């Protein structure tokens, strides 16, 4: 795709959608950017404001506001719209209202002739990705959720700060639900190629008091603290969503922990969950199946069972 003209549509121009749009434009991820929102004045203003940012920029993205009917030739559609969050809710509490919203979005998008790839950001993202897959009728490989990608970014930053290393030297992810039940496969985490658990064992004086369960809990719940303080999280999710878009448009074959369909991997089928997968211009090429420890497999299974309880 990267050699031809590429078009991305962002549906939903709230805090997440507008921040993502800016990230797309500033990184020149595509040639055309289409913004869609129920608030016509807001989406026009976002498109116009973004256009005004290009006067002294090297980026040459054509930006416009539009309608669902304009999505037919899009390569990627990002769905950021969702149910409003209220203090005390979990992501799972938003499911029914979020479903009702996308019921009004996906049919007209598909009627436009769209045959590209959906990237789903809307929470609860694993359940919403599966629901949009069912509504769209597209192959499951072409409907991808951001999954545990943001959680994994948070984890890498946490471990980088803990060990005082560059986060690019940290290879660690979260798996399962993008929510309270997510888990961290510590057996797979490395820093500079060395297993993280070996680092802890080799320096007990420095790291002997580290509580892995406490780290996992903090990564799973830090978003609630951010939302309580500023109303929403958007810089982090916009940044990692841009990485998914880039992997698709540039056919990067990049391994990312995204929400995708399990087809027997880890003992589950027919359910979307956050797992490492190879992302290409065709969508999900394949899943990277870890050899989890028995305890990690138990925790991952518990997280997936939470999602199964909400199957549409």
* Residues tagged active-site: 178
Alpha-carbon distance of 15 to 125, in angstroms, equals 17
Give the orientation angle of helix 15-26 with respect to helix 235-249, to 10 degrees: 50
| Partner residues linked to 274 by β-bridges | 176, 259
| Partner residues linked to 78 by β-bridges | 10, 119
Dihedral (CA of 233, 234, 236, 242) sign = positive
Cβ density class 180-206: b for 16+ within 10 Å, e for less: ebbbbbbebbebeeeebeebbeeeeee
Alpha-carbon distance of 309 to 36, in angstroms, equals 32
Both tokens assigned to 18: 């507008």
Both tokens assigned to 195: 């297993």
Closest alpha carbon to 272 in 174, 155, 143: 143
In the DSSP assignment, the letter for residue 265 is: G
């Amino acid at each position: 795709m990267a050699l031809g003209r590429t078009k991305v549509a962002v549906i939903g121009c709230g805090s997440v959608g507008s921040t993502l749009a800016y990230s797309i434009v500033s990184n020149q991820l595509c040639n055309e950017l289409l913004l869609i929102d129920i608030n016509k004045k807001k989406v026009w203003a976002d498109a116009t404001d973004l256009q005004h940012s290009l006067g002294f920029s090297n980026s040459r993205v054509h930006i416009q506001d539009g309608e669902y009917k304009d999505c037919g030739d899009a390569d990627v559609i990002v769905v950021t719209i969702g149910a409003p969050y209220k203090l005390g809710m979990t992501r799972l509490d938003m499911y029914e209202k979020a479903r009702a919203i996308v019921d009004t979005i996906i049919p007209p998008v598909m009627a436009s002739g769209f045959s590209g790839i959906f990237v789903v950001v809307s929470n609860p993202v694993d359940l919403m990705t599966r629901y949009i897959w069912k509504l769209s009728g597209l192959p499951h490989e072409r409907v991808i959720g951001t999954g545990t990608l943001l959680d994994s970014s948070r984890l890498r930053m946490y471990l980088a700060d803990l060990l005082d290393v560059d986060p690019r030297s940290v290879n660690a992810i979260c798996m399962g639900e993008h929510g309270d039940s997510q888990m961290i496969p510590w057996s797979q985490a490395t820093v500079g190629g060395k297993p993280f658990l070996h680092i802890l064992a080799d320096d007990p004086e420095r790291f002997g008091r580290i509580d892995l369960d406490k780290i996992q809990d903090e990564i799973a719940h830090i978003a609630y603290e951010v939302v309580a303080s500023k109303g929403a999280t958007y810089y982090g999710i916009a940044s990692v969503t841009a990485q998914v878009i880039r992997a698709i448009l540039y056919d990067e074959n990049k391994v990312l922990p995204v929400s995708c369909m399990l087809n027997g991997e880890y003992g589950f089928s027919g359910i979307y969950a956050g797992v490492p997968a190879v992302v290409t211009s065709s969508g999900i090429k394949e899943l990277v199946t870890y050899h989890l420890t028995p305890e990690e497999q138990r925790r991952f299974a518990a997280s997936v069972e939470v999602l199964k309880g909400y199957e549409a």
